[in-house]
Amino acid sequence: MFEKNCLRKFLIGTFLLISINICAQPSPQIANDNLPTDYLKKEFHEGRRVALRNIMPDNSVMAIFAYPTRTFSNDVEYLYHQNPDLYYFSGYKEPHSLLLIFKEEQTDSSGNAYKEILFVQKRNALAEQWTGKRLGTEGAKEKLGISMAFNGNDFKNYSIDFSKFAKIIFDKFPDDIANGNDKADLFDLVQQFKQKTEMPDELSKQNRFDTRSYREITGQLRAIKTPEEKDLLRKAVEISCLGQNEVMKAIRPDMSELEIQGLHEYVHKRYGAEGVGYGSIIGAGENGCILHYMENTKTKIGTSVILMDVGAEYHGYTADVTRTVPVDGKFSKEERAIYQLVYDAQEAAFNTLKNDSKWIDASNAAIDVIADGLLKLGIIKNKNEVARYYPHGLGHHIGMDVHDRGSMRILKKDMVITVEPGIYIPEGSNCDKKWWNIAVRIEDDVLITENGFELLSHFAPRKIEDIEKMVSQKSVLDNYKLPPLESNKKKGF
């Protein structure tokens, strides 16, 4: 027994020693062959940091934390999505990280000058075997161009005198930051930040702790798109439109909502989009009246109109395009009347758009057209009832978030926004039954220019006759055939 215990202890010790040595070694470099070449460059992120410092208040520091990892099921996590602000200002895509940006130049204990510090995940060969390669400090310096890059566990002992800053600017912390085993994870970075800054429990008692202006400052930058951002958004929008077009051509009454969602997202991935910017909305018939319908569980869409609100996300930038399509190829008389009304409202809004125009003017133009039209059709009895069937706003910014940061009050050149009027008449509405379950939304992505706008989503048809023509065409997806499931055969499905 004694000999067996000694042997067991020796083997355990040897295993632990080997594990430590493995973890200490840098993981092998992963080949960069066949990767996209149009990611944002480090010069873009550096330029955004310079622009941020230009508008930060004097004697201030901004702290930008990574987003938490989130559990999908038991011990499986969702595919990680970085805090867009952290990616925007650094290019870093990994969790458990912190970026500090200083208004004025700082000097460390060795006399090195710096204006930003990035704390990143430590390289760990064993962890990287499971979850993928980490950039590490050297990668951050080389790939991101941030010379002051340290491992997250260095933050605890890194000397920063936060008491000297008039403003410490940061976003509100998420409520779901888990406390893991790693002492350099996001939970610990936040706790150490609170200790280092001597943050009070009630931030309102000290104005130097500023969460209010964080989104105002970052939104001021993110609302105006740079040439590089416009290129990525144009591609995301074009891919989304190609998905709309191919589905219009392939659509059949016996298809399910999930099948149609899959066709959209297949086209997106075929053109290199990593995912979608939000849950795809595929609402056939009555489901189109649910504004953020995402179950997509209807097994047969039938012959009514179908509302498809789908946006590809390409290299971190998302489109947001909606088309409403007659599944049987032709709009009915009632569907045509509602669709034309939404189209006219969108055109009225378009006519107001240009640099320095007021968003409220575009919104009111669309509302007026819809209210007048619904009144003439007898669906409402006075214009004040318009919100019953047009219950949402006209649009929003798009960019790294589908509802991107920035003010909509005054439109400025190089903003990219959506214009999306809609009419939704659910069953049981106080109008003639012939209008029930008709839902129409037309959503387009536009770039504000000096004297007007650029319609980025012009690739997908908007007019009634053009949509009907598109639906009549053959699709490259028409001939795909899958065998029936054996389990369905046995059950008689």
Task: State pLDDT tens for residues 365-409.
Answer: 999 999 999 999 999 999 999 999 999 999 999 999 999 999 999
Do 452 and 331 lie in a common domain?
A: yes
Do 246 and 175 lie in a common domain?
A: no
Counting as low any pLDDT under 50, the low residues of the chain are 1-31
Give the Å distances, CA to CA, from 192 to 58, 72, 159, 214, 378: 24, 27, 12, 20, 63
Q: Which of 180, 199, 221 is the last residue of a domain?
A: 221
370 in any annotated domain: yes
Do 321 and 360 lie in a common domain?
A: yes
10 in any annotated domain: no
Residue with token string 């958004």: 233
H or E, element range at 483: none
| pLDDT given at position 490 | 66
Q: Could you tell me how many residues make up the chain?
A: 493
Do 213 and 230 lie in a common domain?
A: no
| pLDDT given at position 16 | 36
Residues 281 and 309: beta-carbon distance below 8 Å: yes
**Residues 102, 104: Cα–Cα separation, whole Å:** 5
CB-hemisphere CA count at 13 Å for 352?
18
Q: Which of 172, 205, 221 is the last residue of a domain?
A: 221
Residues 425 and 439: beta-carbon distance below 8 Å: yes
Domain that holds residue 52: 37-221
The CATH number for 303's domain is: 3.90.230.10
Do 340 and 383 lie in a common domain?
A: yes
151-161 CB burial, b ≥16 within 10 A, e <16:
ebbebeeeebe
112 in any annotated domain: yes
C-alpha closest to that of 439 among 351, 339, 310, 330:
339
Q: Which of 198, 221, 244 is the last residue of a domain?
A: 221
Number of Cβ within 10 Å of residue 317's Cβ equals 30
Do 112 and 231 lie in a common domain?
A: no
- Helices (DSSP H) in 56-204: which residue ranges? 84-90, 125-131, 136-139, 186-197
C-alpha closest to that of 243 among 314, 340, 295:
314
266 in any annotated domain: yes
Q: How many structural domains are present in the chain?
A: 2
Hey, what amino acid is at 402? V
**Residues 12, 14: Cα–Cα separation, whole Å:** 5
Q: Token digits for 471?
A: 């639906």
Do 241 and 342 lie in a common domain?
A: yes
Q: Token digits for 155?
A: 């933050």
DSSP letter assigned to residue 104: E
Do 208 and 137 lie in a common domain?
A: yes
Do 229 and 305 lie in a common domain?
A: yes
| pLDDT given at position 12 | 37
